[in-house]
Chain A
């Protein structure tokens, strides 16, 4: 049934990557301040892994290690599963983290072989199309006409990362940083607050790109390719949301000695195992349902009134701009230069506890990008992110 590489039976022979990550000593990078991106952690890793690959390749003949969905270590730190990187060495915690990753993989597969869970609620089984996911997943197939996969790694992964963490190799150079899909939160959409975007919203984003950011337009791709990519981004989001949910479960719900899912004793105790994976499917159905039902939460934006450029309308807007009702000027500044309030971190950064230097060092080492404060838009540049103009 399980064809993945990371099942408990053969796990012993395989190095557990996340622990290697976590156990690295704090190096001099931490003294350079939060705003300078040092030699990326990942890069060091790739150098080491690259060396290993050559060794393994020459010894065993061939083979590159298959890319893995890296665990969301920063969120584990945030949920206090570990309160320092050394805590990740705890063998019991390693098991718990493996349980989480194994559970997510059991339902959603790997970067090379995506899977979809089968839900009791059958309407959820049609939201994502596995064939389209396969078209996006896997290694880049080259520029041959018969290329059948690898769209995501070809077009997205360098910035958004293999697992959609928004921390791909290029990510540290971009501002704003690429989106972390795993929170299931997106900006350019017509749905109400806290509801994911519709598929149409995301098609629009990748077709147009996001002016004012590094996100380019993918209008040159065929519509079928764009649709495959949008579905893959939705897949990474749902997968990432489930992972976050399970991290909270392990941090706050498991009793002494209890495991998330008892993979190891599934044969001795099949009833319990079935119950556990039944629960797993049920909790996975929640993010899937949010996405599947997003289209029914589309809000209606009325057309602007015909006289919106009129003097009366503009002066009314000007007055509103400065009221305590809208608070526009509070952040965008009295002259709209974006120089009002510039002393607050955004939601994305707050999860890395930027006010606590010791904690922040951990987050950076665990894969987070250095947090920056939110920058209210300078409204006088004429470029509005996600706006009509390309």
Chain B
């Protein structure tokens, strides 16, 4: 009897510790970033080299992409930020296990980096390819990891793993074609997202609880001065800009429409 009770208690305790994986304890963070004002039209990139090949692709300056239909801002990067000074334990949903060692593509394609923003985990492998008929080099200026700079022949590809997380997205560039700029965010946690062409983002399966999130865009830097629900907000913790504490509840956590004034992109 006593043994049975003990087994019962152990079983219940076991179940309780396994609870976070049961689905109810995970939430989704989403939101939409919108440009406050007339949507700017992305200017054509200055094609200074290999005009015959790159000139025909109508490459644009991708540093600020605003959707003319709904003013959604593309390529704002959102991620759960844990910092490096204090150890924060963030449970990772089991669904991320299957992509933990996946290949993540970054192509030199039609004289631009595709995708423009790569989200990469420290366990994943970055596969850099060149599908253009011309040569490219891919230079990634990381801070914590050793930076890389590879030339990639037409039709070639290579693999690279960054083993340490980076605090901020690292710039990707091609020295031969200076207009080619991309970004890669390297994190140990899978909780990161980039806004789509409508300015929308979604991070699924976040553990419930209070977490710090970082908001960053290549032209604005830290996304701190915003308008949410008609009210001005400054996303900042102490001196840490672009950071905001958000309590994740089970289910959907919608930040709604977040407006950004044009001034943020001109500082």
A-side residues, CB < 8 A to B, are 80-81, 83, 92-93, 96, 193-194, 248-258, 279, 323-327, 330-331, 340-341, 343-345, 347, 350, 358, 374
CB distance from A355 to the nearest CB of B (A): 9
Q: Across the interface, do B137 and A327 meet the contact criterion of CB distance under 8 Å?
A: yes
For the complex, give the distance between the alpha carbons of A345 and B139 in Å: 13
Residues of B within 8 A of A330 (CB): 49, 135, 176
Tell me the residues in window 65-88 of chain B with beta carbons closer than 8 Å to chain A beta carbons.
Answer: 83-85
Residues of B within 8 A of A344 (CB): 173, 175, 178
Q: Across the interface, do B239 and A324 meet the contact criterion of CB distance under 8 Å?
A: no
Contact residue among A83, A253, A347 (Cβ-Cβ distance under 8 Å from B84): A253
Contact residue among A92, A194, A325 (Cβ-Cβ distance under 8 Å from B156): A325
Contact residue among B49, B153, B175, B221 (Cβ-Cβ distance under 8 Å from A323): B153
Q: Does B167 count as interface, using CB distance less than 8 angstroms?
A: yes
Residues of A within 8 A of B178 (CB): 341, 343-345
Given A324-B135, A343-B49, the answer on whether A96 and B239 have CB atoms closer than 8 Å is yes
Residues of B within 8 A of A374 (CB): 175
For the complex, give the distance between the alpha carbons of A252 and B149 in Å: 26
Q: Across the interface, do B153 and A347 meet the contact criterion of CB distance under 8 Å?
A: no
Contact residue among A83, A96, A255, A324 (Cβ-Cβ distance under 8 Å from B153): A324
Given A193-B146, A194-B146, the answer on whether A248 and B238 have CB atoms closer than 8 Å is no
Q: Which of A93, A253, A258, A324 has the most CB of B within 10 A?
A: A324
For the complex, give the distance between the alpha carbons of A194 and B160 in Å: 15
Q: Across the interface, do B147 and A250 meet the contact criterion of CB distance under 8 Å?
A: no
Residues of B within 8 A of A341 (CB): 48-49, 175-178
Q: Does B143 count as interface, using CB distance less than 8 angstroms?
A: yes
Tell me the residues in window 220-236 of chain B with beta carbons closer than 8 Å to chain A beta carbons.
Answer: 221-222
Q: Across the interface, do A327 and B135 meet the contact criterion of CB distance under 8 Å?
A: yes
Instruction: Please report the total number of B residues contacting A with Cβ < 8 Å.
Output: 38
B153's closest neighbor in chain A, by CB?
Answer: A325
Contact residue among B48, B175, B240 (Cβ-Cβ distance under 8 Å from A331): B175
Contact with A along B150-182 (1 / 0, CB 8 A): 010110100000000001100101011110000
**Other contacts beyond A96-B239, A250-B239: 14, CB < 8 A:** A193-B149, A249-B85, A251-B240, A252-B240, A253-B85, A254-B238, A257-B238, A325-B156, A327-B151, A327-B176, A330-B135, A341-B177, A344-B178, A358-B267
CB distance from A332 to the nearest CB of B (A): 11
B222's closest neighbor in chain A, by CB?
Answer: A80
Q: Across the interface, do B239 and A254 meet the contact criterion of CB distance under 8 Å?
A: yes
Residues of A within 8 A of B249 (CB): none
Q: Across the interface, do B167 and A81 meet the contact criterion of CB distance under 8 Å?
A: no
CB distance from A249 to the nearest CB of B (A): 7
Q: Does B19 count as interface, using CB distance less than 8 angstroms?
A: no
B83's closest neighbor in chain A, by CB?
Answer: A253
A256's closest neighbor in chain B, by CB?
Answer: B238
Q: Sample 25 A-B pairs with CB under 8 A, ordered by A number.
A: A83-B267, A194-B146, A251-B239, A251-B241, A252-B167, A252-B168, A254-B85, A255-B237, A255-B238, A256-B238, A258-B238, A323-B153, A324-B130, A324-B134, A324-B135, A324-B154, A325-B153, A326-B151, A327-B176, A330-B135, A331-B175, A331-B176, A341-B48, A341-B178, A350-B171
Residues of B within 8 A of A254 (CB): 85, 238-240
Interface pairs A-B: 3 shortest CB-CB: A324-B135, A194-B146, A325-B153
Q: Does B141 count as interface, using CB distance less than 8 angstroms?
A: yes
For the complex, give the distance between the alpha carbons of A292 and B224 in Å: 40
Residues of A within 8 A of B151 (CB): 325-327
Residues of B within 8 A of A325 (CB): 135, 151, 153, 156
Contact with A along B118-157 (1 / 0, CB 8 A): 0000000000001001111100010100111101011010
Q: Which of B134, B173, B178 has the most CB of A within 10 A?
A: B178
Contact residue among A96, A194, A255 (Cβ-Cβ distance under 8 Å from B147): A194
Residues of A within 8 A of B222 (CB): 80
Residues of B within 8 A of A92 (CB): 239
Q: Across the interface, do A80 and B175 meet the contact criterion of CB distance under 8 Å?
A: no
B148's closest neighbor in chain A, by CB?
Answer: A193
Residues of B within 8 A of A350 (CB): 141, 171
Tell me the residues in window 237-265 of chain B with beta carbons closer than 8 Å to chain A beta carbons.
Answer: 237-241
